[in-house]
Amino acid sequence: MNSSQYVTAHDGTKIAIDVWLPKGLAGGEHIPALIKGTPYWRGPEREVSILNARGYAVVAVDARGTGASFGSVKIMFSDAEVSDYGTVADWIIRQPWSNGNVGAYGFSYRGITAANIASLPNPEIKAVAPLFDLTDLYLLAYPGGAFESYLLGAWSEQTRGLNAGKLPCKGDPACVRMDHGPKPVDADADRALLSQALAQHAANYNVYECFRAAPARDDRICGSGQSLSDVSVLARKAAIEKRGLPMFVVTGWLDESSPSQVLFRYRTFSNPQQLIIGPLTHGGFEGDDPFSLGGPPDPTYRSQTELMADFFDRYLKDSKTDLPIKTIRYYVNGAGIWRTTSTWPPSTTTVKRWYLGRSHRATPLARSTRGVERYNVDFSATTGALSGYRGQVDLSRTDYGNRAGEDSRLLTFTSSPLKADLEIAGDPIAHLHFSSSQTDGLLIVYLEDVAPDGVVTYVTQGVLRLAFRKLAAGDTSAYSADPLHTFLHADMMPMTPGRFEDIRIALSPIAALIRKEHRVRIALAGADDGNLERLPAQGAVTWGVAWGQDSYLEMPQVSRPIHRGTPSASNAAVSR
């Protein structure tokens, strides 16, 4: 059963909602509800029928300034936008079918919305499921301080279309295809209210232009008066911890900066959290273990939804089940196995150094000899059209392919064949003694697997805009999901051409297996053409990269032996 209407927010703004109730809901029956807030127009997406069958009402909400809702947007996730969901929650518990309990869920923007809802004081909101979300919006737009040109350009185009009442689906499997624009509410038969709402959306900010003009995390977004940090989940940390709501979180290892950000929240927020990190594309629609591409998602999309429903059953229905306070269920890329831990990195890991060595070798042994490799940056280097940078807007499968050809453009350091399997689980950090001929630029570090037949497989990467290389002087956890750099405007500083400095770069956290007889490769790039903004915009760049004891990668290696045959996440203990 579906109905649609407006709910009036605290400031008088009309917010459009859809209510999807289970078929055959008996009179006098009371059920919990799940809020899904979206800027991409509310509609019957694929998980709604599953949740209805599990006994949940689903209330889809057009975020203010989008769809059929009124208002305009000067910056995403404003206090007004977030508070609207408290108004919706209060409306829900007044309905005759409500049992008085409300949750929130969604992926991507909708997942960030669910996490923000956890900050609201409404006592009826009991649990949230932020999926494939991000706690630090600055690092979404500027990973490592590098402007994410493709994602923001494509998302800006989509947003302009949405504001005008046109939905660019572009292969999105979750896209609600509507021939006549956003859905009006039931009482708006002549679409007059919808037309008024769309007229207000014309005042929405331009995503690309406004983000591009704010290269530091404390720079303000156009006329909003706020920075991306001001409206991030991290900015609501105190309120989220005060409410203490349990969270169910799913993300994928290659989903750009989402895994680093959800693991950061896991470590720094006191809320109970169930976290699943798997070989999953953004949204969980496809599998993307780079060692076995083409397989189905594990767990499947339906299983992901059922696991989420299991989680909500514990908090929104009458039955109560004791749960671990915090748990992570993670998949090991290349091994096809799942592991469970209560800490990240897992307690079974030990950090080992892999040094850049003579003759482009990578070695776990520290040598006393030192030298310098010179490298002319190849600005045609790229991670391609299926890069992890693109999946968050295209919902495409992340596929880096065989990196052997691309590596010919890069500065690489490769180990001898491994004498035993090497399992990695944690947060690699690169330490480079480095110089550049320019005052700014990008420095990208790839960790890769080289098979005996020469096939090169992407494992993980880290990126840093060199102007932001200054290390944080203290704890940045109040506003940054990057443990090393602040990205504050005051900390931007030019390089001195030709002068060597120690540069540190955090690579995205990963769990992966590099097999016996394979080789470890550390590859350095100064560009990701088509995905990140070129820096500098013009001119050649020459690097000096020291090899020897001063340049190395901290590798979190699992000390216990590999074992196989671990159940998939959909059958794991975390689900029951």
Residue 325 pLDDT: 77
Identify residue 420 by its one-letter amino acid code.
A
How many CB atoms within 10 Å of residue 547? Answer: 25
Domain assignment of residue 512, yes or no: yes
Domain assignment of residue 525, yes or no: yes
What are residue 432's DSSP bridge partners? Answer: 503
Backbone angles phi, psi at 448, to 5 degrees: -135, 165
Domain assignment of residue 383, yes or no: yes
For residue range 332-380, list pLDDT tens digits in order: 999 999 999 999 999 999 999 999 999 999 999 988 899 999 999 999 9
Closest CA to 326 of 244, 427, 258: 244
Domain assignment of residue 544, yes or no: yes
For residue range 501-513, list pLDDT tens digits in order: 999 999 999 999 9
As given in the structure block, the two tokens for residue 490 are: 């005051």
Residue 575 pLDDT: 39
Residue 178 pLDDT: 47
Residue 211 pLDDT: 98
Q: Which residues contact 267 (CB under 8 A, 6 or more apart)?
A: 344
Handedness of CA 253, 303, 35, 73 (dihedral sign): positive
Residue 324 pLDDT: 64
Q: Which residues contact 195 (CB under 8 A, 6 or more apart)?
A: none
Closest CA to 441 of 545, 551, 371, 362: 545
What are residue 471's DSSP bridge partners? Answer: 485
Stretches where the chain sits below pLDDT 70 are 1, 167-180, 319-324, 561-576
Q: Let me know: does 141 contact 211? Beta carbons within 8 Å.
A: yes
Domain assignment of residue 430, yes or no: yes
Instruction: Please state, in angstroms and as integers, the Cα–Cα distance from residue 480 to each residue in 133, 234, 265, following that order.
Output: 15, 7, 11
CA 481, distance to chain mean position in Å, is: 11
Boundaries of domain holding 443: 349-558
Q: Let me know: does 464 contact 257? Beta carbons within 8 Å.
A: no
Q: Let me know: does 307 contact 294? Beta carbons within 8 Å.
A: no
8-state DSSP, 285: S
Closest CA to 335 of 561, 12, 180: 561
- The span from the CA of 346 to the CA of 342, in Å, is 7
Residue 565 pLDDT: 42
As given in the structure block, the two tokens for residue 38 are: 């979206």
8-state DSSP, 14: E
DSSP conformation letters of 356-378: EEGGGEEESS--S--EEEEEE--
Domain assignment of residue 523, yes or no: yes
Number of H helices, E strands in the chain: 12, 23
What are residue 513's DSSP bridge partners? Answer: 423
Q: Which residues contact 313 (CB under 8 A, 6 or more apart)?
A: 54, 319
Is the previous residue joined to 44 through a cis bond, with omega within 30 degrees of 0? no
Closest CA to 134 of 228, 20, 64, 241: 228
Residue 45 pLDDT: 84
Domain assignment of residue 39, yes or no: no
The number of domains in the chain is: 1
Q: Which residues contact 191 (CB under 8 A, 6 or more apart)?
A: 184
Domain assignment of residue 468, yes or no: yes
The CATH number assigned to the domain holding 387 equals 2.60.120.260
